[in-house]
Amino acid sequence: NKEKTLAIIKPDGLLGNHTDDIKKAILEYGFSILKEKTIQLDEDAVTRFYAEHSSKNFFSSLMKYMTSGPVVVMILEKENAIADWRALMGPTDASKAKSTHPHSIRAMCGLDIQRNCVHGSDSLTSAQREMSFFFRELSAVKLEDTW
Ligand code: CMP
């Protein structure tokens, strides 16, 4: 019973040249990358994508971070993809991931609670919303298409 989830390599992941290592870990963990593209998010896209965080105190900082450079968005598929991708990413706070989840992606390339390198959908409902957000109604500027 295969499941799909949305993964994002965030701007710090691309700027730090972690894309190839992250994709290697994804494939080694048994995911298929069904779709992939590199895009630059604008403020409108971030506001809509992170709508649930729009009233948080870190939102303006999150906006700056997520618009600071291109991101890679991917649809991953495997059995139990949503939970397994979150397990492979490790905890949100990348600074803690280094001691508690040393083999996770966030331990490998994340910096702190904001610059945590990758994103993954947290439920079936958000996976569906996030996959169609990036692969159907897309409003962000498309830089490159690799699928
Ligand atoms: P993500 O899992 O993509 O969901 C929301 C993002 O906001 C999160 O990863 C971090 O990049 C960022 N974030 C979450 N909590 C905080 C926080 N307390 N301070 C700053 N950024 C945060």
47-105 tens-digit pLDDT: 999 999 999 999 999 999 999 999 999 999 999 999 999 999 999 999 999 999 999 99
Contact assessment for residue 121 and residue 5, using Cβ atoms and an 8 Å cutoff: yes
The domain tally of the chain equals: 1
If we measure between CA atoms, which residue out of 56, 57, 54 comes closest to residue 46?
A: 54
- The answer to whether the pTM exceeds 0.90 is yes
Say yes or no to pLDDT of 138 above 60: no
CA distance 42 to 99: 34
Residues with Cβ within 8 Å of residue 137, at least 6 apart in sequence: none
For residue 53 and ligand 1, the question of a CB distance below 6 A is answered with: yes
Give the per-residue pLDDT at 141: 47
Q: Whose CA is nearest to atom 2 of ligand 1?
A: 119
Residues recognised as catalytic: 119
Q: Which CATH number belongs to the domain containing residue 127 in this structure?
A: 3.30.70.141
If we measure between CA atoms, which residue out of 45, 95, 89, 92 comes closest to residue 70?
A: 45
Q: What is the DSSP string of 15-45?
A: HTT-HHHHHHHHHHTT-EEEEEEEEE--HHH
Residue whose CB lies within 8 A of the most ligand 1 atoms, among 5, 46, 58, for a mutation test:
58
Is 86 known to sit in a ligand binding site?
A: yes
If we measure between CA atoms, which residue out of 52, 90, 73 comes closest to residue 10?
A: 73
SS3 content of the chain, % helix, strand, coil (to 5): 45, 25, 30
Domain range for residue 140?
2-145
